[in-house]
Amino acid sequence: MFSEFLQYLFTGITIGATYALVALGFTIIYNASHVINFAQGEFLMIGGMGTVAFMGLGIPMFFAIVLAVLLACLVGIALQRLAIAPAKNADVVTLIIITIGASIFIRGIAQVVWGKDYHVVPSFSGDEPIRLGGAVLNTQSMWVLSIGTVLVVALILFFTRTLIGRAILGTSMNKLAAQLVGVKTQMVLMLAFGLSALLGSVAGVTVAPITFTAYDIGILLALKGFVAAALGGLGSGLGAVVGGILLGVVEAMTAGYISSEYKDAVAFSMILLVLFFMPRGLFGARTVERV
């Protein structure tokens, strides 16, 4: 009985950690521009597929990951320079639509260059799962969780302690005011896209041993990741992690104790309920609109 519960919990944490890591990626760009970057999933894909491609060239895994992450950063910066910057005076909705277009474009290129097959990324520390109280936990989930934790702490420090981080926050709060005090807002945005691509591609490589990777894996992961981010409160690093894990655990518990048919229904009802009472999510900023 208890081992079952433990198993559902571990499964939930595995799924949730994946969502959380993906959700974190939405945070930086949202904080910098209030844009929800729908090409975030493609950064994940580049992380995973890039690693597979570079490993295919005979490069050791660690360096393949580094190269894939660099590639994703370049794509992120290019996305901001070539697609977002030219439309700088457009409103947020237009920018969001641009990111949707960019995601389709990147996916198309990846399909041509890397093909349409699913690929395996080896686990970071072997395939042998950890057995605990009659339940099994994948070692890769531990990696996902710990990398998620490190990233949250790093994000919090970055946004509260560093000048650049505060410049990014400032830009999102009031672009004009930020410009007046000498923040180069375009530069800040470019940086935000680069960083977010870095975060996304690291997440992509870390979850790939669990989910596999393919040119279209971004759509699947980003959708649930976005839901997790909205649940936790967009823009909050802690919220992304809590939202992701909560979503994962609810899904696994529903699949385990009620029925796998209702898994998504229960998860989405919970989100509706949370957002109904707390429209900004669990950890969203409680800003007061000044008139």
Question: Which residues make up the interface to another protein (CB under 8 A)?
Answer: 4, 7-8, 10-12, 14-15, 18, 116-120, 127, 129, 136, 138, 207, 210-212, 214, 216, 220-221, 223-224, 252-253, 255-256, 260-261, 263-264
Taking the complex as a whole, how short is the minimal distance between the CB of residue 128 and another protein, in angstroms?
A: 9
Yes or no: say if 38 and 196 are a contact pair by the CB < 8 Å rule.
no
The CA distance from 189 to 195, in Å, is 10
Q: Is 181 exposed, middle or buried (0-12, 13-18, 19+ CB in 10 A)?
A: exposed
| Structure tokens belonging to residue 172 | 């999102």
Taking the complex as a whole, how short is the minimal distance between the CB of residue 1 and another protein, in angstroms?
A: 10
Query: Toward another protein, which CB reaches closer, 18 or 236?
Result: 18
The CA distance from 171 to 113, in Å, is 36
Query: Toward another protein, which CB reaches closer, 62 or 118?
Result: 118
285 in helix, strand or coil? coil
Single-letter amino acid, residue 69: V
Taking the complex as a whole, how short is the minimal distance between the CB of residue 217 and another protein, in angstroms?
A: 8
Taking the complex as a whole, how short is the minimal distance between the CB of residue 253 and another protein, in angstroms?
A: 8
Query: Toward another protein, which CB reaches closer, 170 or 200?
Result: 200
Taking the complex as a whole, how short is the minimal distance between the CB of residue 14 and another protein, in angstroms?
A: 5
Taking the complex as a whole, how short is the minimal distance between the CB of residue 103 and another protein, in angstroms?
A: 16
Query: Toward another protein, which CB reaches closer, 90 or 130?
Result: 130
Element (H, E) at 101: helix 92-114
Yes or no: say if 34 and 168 are a contact pair by the CB < 8 Å rule.
no
Query: Toward another protein, which CB reaches closer, 80 or 140?
Result: 140
* HSE, side-chain direction, 13 A CA sphere, residue 34: 12
Identify the CA nearest to 215 among candidates 129, 108, 288. Answer: 108
Question: What angle do the packed helices 2-33 and 217-232 form, to 10 degrees?
Answer: 90
Taking the complex as a whole, how short is the minimal distance between the CB of residue 270 and another protein, in angstroms?
A: 16
Q: Is 61 exposed, middle or buried (0-12, 13-18, 19+ CB in 10 A)?
A: middle
How many residues comprise the chain? 291
Query: Toward another protein, which CB reaches closer, 186 or 256?
Result: 256
Beta bridge partners of residue 213, listed in sequence order: 119
Query: Toward another protein, which CB reaches closer, 52 or 197?
Result: 52
